[in-house]
Amino acid sequence: MSLKEVLKEHQERRRKDKLAVMTMVFRRSKPHPLIHQTRLGNEELLLVIDPSTKQLLHFDSLKEAGGRESARQQTLARQVVLERSILADRPAVQLCLDVQDCYIDICSPEVLLLFTDNFDYQHLRRDFVKGLLSDEVMGNKIYTHEIFGDYAARIDNMRAYDVVSKDIIHRWTYPMVPDIRFASPETGIKIGRSNIYKEDGVVLAPTTVIGPSTVLGTGTSIGDKSIVRNSVIGRGCTIGSNVNIEGSHIWNNVTVGDNVQIRHAVICDGVVLKSGAIIEPGVLLSFKVVIGENFTVPAYSKISLVRQRPEEDSSDEELEYAEAASGVAESPPSPFYDGRVVNGSPAHGGDELPESPRWDPSEVGIAGAGCNWSAGQDEEWRHSVAPIPSERIREIVAREEEGELEDDARDMTASSTNDNIAEQVDDDEADEEDESAFFDKEVEALFRRAVTGEAGAHEDHVVLEVNSLKLAYDRSFSDCAGAMFTALLNLASERPHTTSRDLLQNCRQVVVQWGPLLRRFLKSQDDEMEVLLVFEEICVEDNREFAPIFASVLQELYDKDVISEEAIIAWASEKQQADESDKVFVKQCERFIQWLEEASEEDEDDEDEE
């Protein structure tokens, strides 16, 4: 994003009001905890803003309660108390749950003085922003700036690192994309179909398979029958044969032996993975770590040549964190061995250095190098590059559904005392249409990920993510089914075809492969009828090349048990009283519908005879 607009806005505000010391940048994000956590690993934010001035009145994060608490406890953990003064002398306030903090702040010089006066501030948001908003004596003010078309995001954990990297590869950050901003003058980058980027000087064996959303750096060579998908491979890497790399970030000068499996991991410069090693999802291997032959690194492990310092007793959590972080950053590149530093300063007990490092084979395998850093395993899934486990998604969705049931009960009680509901304005209807279109695009994007085999896009995972979108957008299963069916037809239409017969063959292939996924969103006969209505709308308005093969596609959906006989007959019955223009596709299916009705009558007769 360009900072010109927000800088100008901040400067103009400062000229009018010297107490306007800070402007914070936000962007829109759908209000659902699953969206925030699967996207950047962050919690939901609640902002209270004066809509007329854009002044920030309240800032809070709706942190999920830990453990297995009930929905009631989860709700209490996420409750927010607003000061009465926020509502005083203001005709309206705006409560925002649909925002993402970009961590871009335009500050006046007074901010530095405020930090000096409050030397115990450790966290910019939790301490400084909240402290500034609650300080009524000084009267300093914070304002907000919302971006719409621009891209801005903060990388403060590995999930955010992975997501922003994927956004760059998918060109959401244009012109900051690999072939424009990251290519060196000496080395060019070629972009192929499905967002495959290759620098000059990449050597691939004839049987190597490079999947979608992949970047390969110069000087990298990949052996026979190796597969790389949805990954970034740096420069100067040597990758052996029969290697499978998926959803991972491999930096420069990494050596990967034969028959190695790497899934959703981050591998830093100079790492060596010996033959047969398996790197499970969520693993982070620091600089020059060596993993022994046929050794499996467990999920979410963090391995480094620098030994982890023991935690020191401290009552200040933030000081503890800062001390640990600075220790990692300032540690020399040489590893610690049993309290002594190799290739560095002499050991405390004398000048003698150990002849060889002492690494635990249970952590890095035989002849490996590195030590495993312990971490809070309960939260590792939240900030890892690995896809969020299905059971975690189910927990979040279940908690949200339970919370919605409680909200519905409270709303019903409130509505009994207040029957006067304001009429919906035209602007709200327009917003609803925009949101519906956005929902359809999000569902299709999830389906496309499954089609291309992108990391974390297995059928069960797609179903869970679509269900989370359903909750976030307040949609029904019929909406999900309609959006998914549209995505199926778009896929069939994009495949090569010159005649209606070719298009029908494409549809049959798509229905065979993806019909079971669509079926998982058809919970009732009404949902199935909604799919037929969507099909009609597509044939009339969006893609008329499907119109001549409507009946054939419908029969294929019936043959593959996607649409039931009852739904088709009910759809045809509803059309009997419609205008002639609405009966076009019913007439096209007349013979098929007649056959279904006769078959249904025969079944009923057989049941009567029995």
Determine which of 372-376, 456-460, 463-467 has the lowest per-residue pLDDT on average.
456-460
pLDDT digits (tens, 9 = 90+) for 488-536: 888 888 888 888 888 899 899 988 988 888 888 888 888 888 888 888 8
Query: Helix, strand or coil for residue 204?
Result: strand
* Residue recorded with tokens 């990251």: 182
**What stretch(es) of the chain map to CATH 2.160.10.10?**
158-304
pLDDT at 296 over 90: yes
Given CATH 1.25.40.180, say whether it is the number of domain 390-407+433-609.
yes
How far does the chain reach from its first CA to its final CA, in angstroms? 73
Residue 239's pLDDT is 97
pLDDT at 609 over 60: no
Which comes out higher in pLDDT, residue 71 or 356? 356
Instruction: Indicate yes or no: pTM above 0.85.
Output: no
Contact between residue 228 and residue 210 where contact means Cβ atoms under 8 Å apart: yes
Fold of 158-304: UDP N-Acetylglucosamine Acyltransferase; domain 1 (2.160.10)
Question: 226: pLDDT confidence band, cut at 50, 70 and 90?
Answer: very high
Buried (b) or exposed (e) across 508-530, using 16+ Cβ within 10 A? bebbeebbebbbbbbeebebbbb
pLDDT digits (tens, 9 = 90+) for 327-343: 443 333 333 334 333 33
Which comes out higher in pLDDT, residue 337 or 597? 597
Contact between residue 579 and residue 606 where contact means Cβ atoms under 8 Å apart: no
pLDDT at 345 over 50: no
pLDDT at 36 over 90: no
pLDDT at 41 over 80: no
For 449-472, what is the mean pLDDT? 72
CB atoms near residue 569 (< 10 Å): 15
pLDDT digits (tens, 9 = 90+) for 54-96: 999 988 876 644 444 444 444 545 567 777 778 777 888 888 8
Q: Give, as one character, the DSSP assignment of residue 454.
A: -
pLDDT digits (tens, 9 = 90+) for 119-167: 677 778 878 888 888 877 778 899 999 988 888 888 888 988 998 999 8
**What stretch(es) of the chain map to CATH 1.25.40.180?**
390-407+433-609
State the sign of the Cα–Cα–Cα–Cα dihedral 580, 586, 591, 595.
negative
